[in-house]
A and B are shown apart, each in its own frame.
Chain A
Amino acid sequence: DQQVKQNSPSLSVQEGRISILNCDYTNSMFDYFLWYKKYPAEGPTFLISISSIKDKNEDGRFTVFLNKSAKHLSLHIVPSQPGDSAVYFCAATPPGYGNKLVFGAGTILRVKS
């Protein structure tokens, strides 16, 4: 039961252009969404988040958009840099006790210089 889906296993983008990573979810009760970035041989690191009551959150080059009616969120990276090359995981928090994040399978982003 994949409640959070990242349908693109990989994405290749030219340096300086926009990277758009997509994520779909099935549980309308998720109340918080997060993006994590992971480099090889390292653990995931938090990138940006958005509450379900908002539709956009921006932090520097990173913007997350949430479309609740479509159960879809996306991460925009502008401009993309070679150092952004990593695996990006979308995650969501179901309501209730605890902080059990539900992760997607990840998208490998390659930024070419």
Chain B
Amino acid sequence: DSGVTQTPKHLITATGQRVTLRCSPRSGDLSVYWYQQSLDQGLQFLIQYYNGEERAKGNILERFSAQQFPDLHSELNLSSLELGDSALYFCASSVGGFGELFFGEGSRLTVL
């Protein structure tokens, strides 16, 4: 158990819909990261937050947005969903802005 909690674990929805994935970091960790893993692909970095502020951005689509709240949990919002958005979405956390990442178990999104 990494201490990072992600909900929901599984989500099935239709094209055009919007979903929200939630992440609670390890206690004391200030940084939260979101990664996307599509079929047979490596993890693709989406975005990093540090203590509520956006720290780094990857190839995150404009249809996707994220935020980190004062209690340090984070949400990833995916809108106007397309079939290609079907993937495992991982959240990770770290104590500071660098260093070892601790990953949650992921949220599997299926878009039909």
Which A residues contact B (CB, under 8 angstroms)?
2, 4, 6, 9, 34, 36, 41-46, 49, 89, 91, 97-106
Question: Complex formed: what's the CA distance from A100 to B45 in Å?
Answer: 6
Q: Does B55 contact A (CB under 8 A)?
A: yes
Docked CA distance A24–B35 (Å): 21
| Least distance between B72 CB and chain A CB atoms (Å) | 16
B55 close to A98 (CB less than 8 A): yes
Q: What residues make up the interface of B, taking CB atoms closer than 8 Å to A?
A: 2, 4, 31, 33, 35, 40-45, 48, 55-56, 58, 90, 92, 94, 97-106
Shortest distance from the beta carbon of A91 to any chain B beta carbon, whole Å = 8
Q: Which residue from A4, A43, A45, A98 sits with its C-beta under 8 Å from B42?
A: A4
B55 touches A89 (CB 8 A): no
- The reply to whether A105 and B42 form a contact with Cβ atoms under 8 Å apart is yes
> Can you give 15 contacting A-B residue pairs, CB < 8 Å?
A36-B103, A43-B92, A43-B104, A45-B2, A46-B102, A89-B42, A89-B43, A97-B55, A98-B56, A98-B97, A99-B48, A100-B33, A100-B56, A100-B58, A103-B35
CB contact under 8 A between A98 and B48, given known A45-B2, A105-B40:
yes
State whether A44 touches B48 (Cβ < 8 A): no
Chain A residue, CB-CB nearest to B1: A42
Q: Are B58 and A43 closer than 8 Å at their CB atoms?
A: no
**Knowing A89-B43, A102-B45, A103-B43 touch, does A41 contact B56 (C-beta < 8 A)?**
no
Determine if A99 and B105 form an interchain contact, defined as CB atoms under 8 angstroms apart. no
Q: From residue A11, how far is it (CB to closest CB) to chain B in Å? A: 16
Q: Which 7 A-B pairs have the closest CB atoms?
A: A98-B56, A43-B103, A103-B42, A103-B43, A100-B45, A105-B42, A46-B100
Across the interface, name the chain A residue whose C-beta is closest to B55. A98
Smallest CB separation, B32 vs chain A (Å): 11
